[in-house]
Structure 1
Amino acid sequence: MTRQLDDVDRTILRAMTADGRQTVRALARAVGLSEPSVRERLQRLERDGVITGYHAALDPASVDAATAAFVALRFEPGEAAKAVVNERLARETCVLEVYEVAGEDCYWLKVRASGTDALADTLDRIRAIPPVRGTSTTIVLRTVFERPLGPDTGPA
């Protein structure tokens, strides 16, 4: 559901994106509303699908996932092929994100692994998915920055 965010919603989301562990009391102080009002807004933002979850941001090297790569994936056209690929990719814990794209490739994947050997094993399993016709992999040398999605993401 798409809903219009007002300034108070954006302020709450900005504060939550900066520190997701803030208490409702701290959020209420930040936006100048009562705690019940802020709690109600948070529940509405969750119910409307604006807030989709709460997560800890982890250091990839600390959780044995220091090697990042982007994989362009091509496979046979059709909904049946897509369903097979989706189901198999969902099983691969190294695959963090899957984007359906326009152009020569069908999907772009963001993958994290402990090293190049683990990445190679993951790529072997992906290439073995029946409708897959090919992959192209780019290994990330260094992450310059990653920006979390926030209420102000997008053009200024």
Structure 2
Amino acid sequence: MIDAIDKEILRTLQNDGRMSATALAAEVGLTVAPCHRRLKDLEASGVISGYRAVVDPSSVGLGFEALVFVSLAQVDRTTIDKFEAEVSENRRITSAQRLFGDPDYILKVVTKDLDEYQKFYDTELTSLPGVLRLRSTLVMKNLKPSAGLPL
């Protein structure tokens, strides 16, 4: 069971995943050994599923974002499995959620610019399995790109 100290560890790591165990322990009010043990338990149980670097998209030439609303022609297990497999494998699609109602999915796509997005849309998005309709909206400004959970 996650207690208040575990939540504080998680909140702290969401803000700085590279924090040393010593600094983390000091931040949450524990000594190093129990903090390290709690951290290992959180990792082993899958509560912490990994660590990663947050990369600024425009710094690597990927400053264009679009949200794509996808409606499928039919919603059966085979179509869903094929669609989701292809979406999961596509590196330009950085986020994907299945929704209740219409549309069926929302995808976040990142590209260099509008021209590259248009080519991606025409060649890859339209050929995803089961697609009936695609609607895009362009992201003007990303206010909260990767916020942590509200622990």
TM, length-normalised to structure 2 = 0.91
Pick one of 11, 31, 35 that aligns with 1:38: 35
Counterpart residue number, 1:5: 2
Counterpart residue number, 2:95: 97
Matches within 5 A, 1:36-75: 36-75=33-72
Once the two structures are aligned, what percentage of the paired residues are identical?
A: 28
Once the two structures are overlaid, the 10-residue window that deviates more, 140-149 or 89-98, is 140-149
Post-superposition shift, 1:127?
0.9
State the number of aligned residues: 149
Distance 2:127 2:26 in 1: 54
Does the 8 A contact of 1:92 with 1:122 survive in 2?
A: no
Does the 8 A contact of 1:45 with 1:51 survive in 2?
A: yes
Distance 2:46 2:113 in 1: 35
Question: What is the one-letter code of the residue matched to 1:101?
Answer: L
Does the 8 A contact of 2:93 with 2:108 survive in 1?
A: yes
Matching of residue 129 in structure 1 with residue 128 in structure 2: yes
Structure 1 pair 80–47 and aligned structure 2 pair: CA distance change class (3 A)? same
Post-superposition shift, 1:147?
4.7
CA deviation string 1:54-105 (max 9, x = no partner): 1111111012210111100111210100111112112221101110101111
3-state SS in 2 of match to 1:51: coil
Post-superposition shift, 1:107?
0.6
3-state SS in 1 of match to 2:75: coil
3-state SS in 1 of match to 2:134: strand
Does the 8 A contact of 1:89 with 1:126 survive in 2?
A: no
Give the 4+ runs in structure 1 shifted more than 4 A: none
Matching of residue 143 in structure 1 with residue 142 in structure 2: yes
CA deviation string 1:21-48 (max 9, x = no partner): 1100111112222212111111111122
Pick one of 22, 31, 39 that aligns with 1:25: 22
Instruction: Structure 2 unaligned segments of length 5 or more: list them.
Output: none
3-state SS in 2 of match to 1:120: helix
TM, length-normalised to structure 1 = 0.88
Post-superposition shift, 1:150?
2.9
